[in-house]
Amino acid sequence: MAKMYHKDKSIQIKSSASALYNNLSVLRIAPRCLTYFTVVHANVVNMVSASWDGLNYSHRQLQSKEGNVATSSSVIMQAAWCVLPSRDLLVLTSQKGIQMYESDGSIMVYWHALDTPETPTAKAVFARGIAAVREKYICVGVSSGSVLVFDVPSKGSNITLSEVLEEHKEAITDMASECSGNLECIADLVSADDSGLLCVWKSGEDFQLLNKIPGFDTSCSSVKLWKGTVIAGYGTGQIRLYEGVTGILHAEVNAHARWIYSLDIAPFTGLLISAAEDSWVRVWHLSLTPETNSVEIEHMYNECVTDTQICGAKFCDGDGYAFAVTGYDLSEIIRYTQA
């Protein structure tokens, strides 16, 4: 197998990565030749801004908040950038609620409190799973199985909860919107839960459920949607490719020996990255043949991050030229660039 990527300079972070699914988010700011990274540690989010020449790094830490008050008791579950046509927002989900910030983390523009039960229940309450959909929606999953749809104005803080989607019975694990930019795709959101159930949605003033793809009682920890194809990673180490609208299974790969923690796709090239507890990062190539309506997955590259339980892996650009990896208890973001 050709050596596709080589290890690049790592980026130090202020505190180590927690063992959470999809614990890395990346935002490219091309006009300023910067890339932002976020990694969650307990009740803080480590944010790093890195210049492309590798000379300048700036760090910021965002606290878990309840309203405008910082709270140490609320564990953050996920941090992810939501890229909408008119603005980029950084969304944090925790056990208390949902925080939305300007993309550089400077100003909190919105806070949504979760409904916490009056009496303590056996079930934990938290939000997890974040996706920007089409022109103006940000969707966030909740431990009850609900999906909250927020309507986001092109500027300002007048963000409203416009709809609650109630199809999942288990905690939401991850969500993804159609990332190819192809407006002909009918499906534009997929949500996944702890039972492995996938719900495929069409967005709009009222979100429509297009399909439910059963999950065989194995948690789906990470999900992507590309050119109408749902790419799902599971606790079994498997990756499955489904046609979103029909639910037809195109491919199933025994990709990892242990729990998959993160998937990402480079939308322009169809490169897919998978990362798991088994210390392996794998790069795959997806190809679609519209005439026969088939999807193929080809294994391209492996990288072992020794003795590391990988919890985040993301491409740093739309072509998959570079990717970044985080691991449980590691205080650095490891980067790889195409050789």
Give pTM, 2 decimals: 0.95
Per-residue pLDDT of the chain (339 residues; tens, 9 = 90+): 557 999 999 999 999 999 999 999 999 999 999 999 999 999 999 999 999 998 999 999 999 888 777 777 789 999 999 999 999 999 999 999 999 999 999 999 999 999 877 766 667 899 999 999 999 999 999 999 999 999 999 999 999 999 999 999 999 999 999 998 887 889 999 999 999 999 999 999 999 999 999 988 899 999 999 999 999 999 999 999 999 999 999 999 999 999 999 999 999 999 999 999 999 999 999 999 878 878 999 999 999 999 999 999 999 999 999 999 999 999 999 999 998
Q: Which domains does the chain possess?
A: 5-338 (2.130.10.10)
Give the integer Cα–Cα distance in Å for 224 and 198.
11
Q: What is the pLDDT of residue 22?
A: 98
Identify the three-state secondary structure at position 241. Answer: strand
Name the nearest CA neighbour of 189 among 168, 172, 210, 171: 210
Residue type at position 226: W
Q: How far apart are CA 258 and CA 279, in angstroms?
A: 9
The closest alpha carbon to 124, from 143, 100, 104, 102, belongs to 143
pLDDT of residue 290: 79
Question: DSSP states of 153-219 as a string?
Answer: -SSSS--EEEEEE---SS-EEEEEEB-S--TT-S--EEEEETT--EEEEE-SSS-EEEEEE--TT--
**Sole residue written with tokens 């996944």:** 192
Distance CA 336, CA 303 (A): 9
pLDDT at 183: 76
Question: Cα angle at 247 between 183 and 175, to 5 degrees?
Answer: 60
What pLDDT does residue 120 have? Answer: 67
